[in-house]
């Protein structure tokens, strides 16, 4: 018996969450059947900002410990995989038609995220698959600027050759 999935709808968060968590088998199954360029919600761990009340002197027994807060942001599956460094999922998504120049909720491309994290292997894959190293984020920065800011000089050298 052969089952076809032509009319089967995949709930949109599955592909991004599977990419985020590194479940290659699930991404391999879902990517051909879903919109890989759609923004989906993924969790992000935020660090608390110091407040004005943090300067108050406490005795040792009442010292507060800052807790980390989890929030969610909108990211496409490709950017979620790039953020987590899942190179095999990046390959799979690009093979299944994910746009290498797609942007997240802040206007940053997948190439910009890879450059910021210093992931030369992913930067090379994205550029060879059509990612434009000249695209700028909403703030006007190119991926080479991100790599330079975070001192990933091997990525800077590679991107400067591509520009």
pLDDT digits (tens, 9 = 90+) for 71-85: 777 789 999 999 999
Number of domains in the chain: 2
Residue pLDDT, tens place only, 29-68: 888 887 777 777 776 666 565 554 444 444 444 444 455 6
Q: Are residues 80 and 35 in the same domain?
A: yes
Q: Are residues 108 and 74 in the same domain?
A: no
pTM of the entire structure? 0.76
Residue 147 in contact with residue 120, Cβ under 8 Å?
A: no
Q: For the domain that residue 30 is a member of, what is the CATH number?
A: 1.25.40
Residue pLDDT, tens place only, 84-132: 999 999 999 999 999 999 999 889 999 999 999 999 999 999 999 999 9
Q: Are residues 32 and 91 in the same domain?
A: yes
Q: Are strands 69-75 and 40-46 parallel, antiparallel or unpaired?
A: antiparallel
The reply to whether 53 falls in a domain is no
């Amino acid at each position: 018996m052969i089952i076809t999935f032509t009319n089967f709808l995949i709930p949109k968060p599955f592909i991004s969450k599977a990419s985020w968590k590194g479940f290659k088998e699930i991404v391999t199954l879902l990517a051909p059947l879903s919109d890989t360029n759609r923004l989906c919600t993924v969790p992000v761990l935020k660090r608390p900002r110091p407040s004005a009340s943090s300067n108050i002197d406490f005795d040792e027994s009442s010292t507060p410990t800052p807790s980390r807060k989890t929030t969610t942001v909108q990211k496409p599956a490709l950017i979620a995989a790039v953020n987590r460094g899942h190179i095999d999922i990046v390959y799979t998504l690009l093979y299944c038609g994910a746009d290498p120049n797609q942007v997240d909720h802040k206007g940053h491309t997948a190439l910009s995220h890879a450059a910021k994290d210093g992931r030369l292997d992913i930067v090379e894959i994205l550029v060879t698959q059509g990612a434009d190293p000249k695209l700028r984020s909403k703030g006007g920065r190119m991926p080479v600027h991100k790599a330079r800011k975070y001192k990933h000089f091997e990525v800077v050298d590679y991107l400067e050759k591509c520009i």
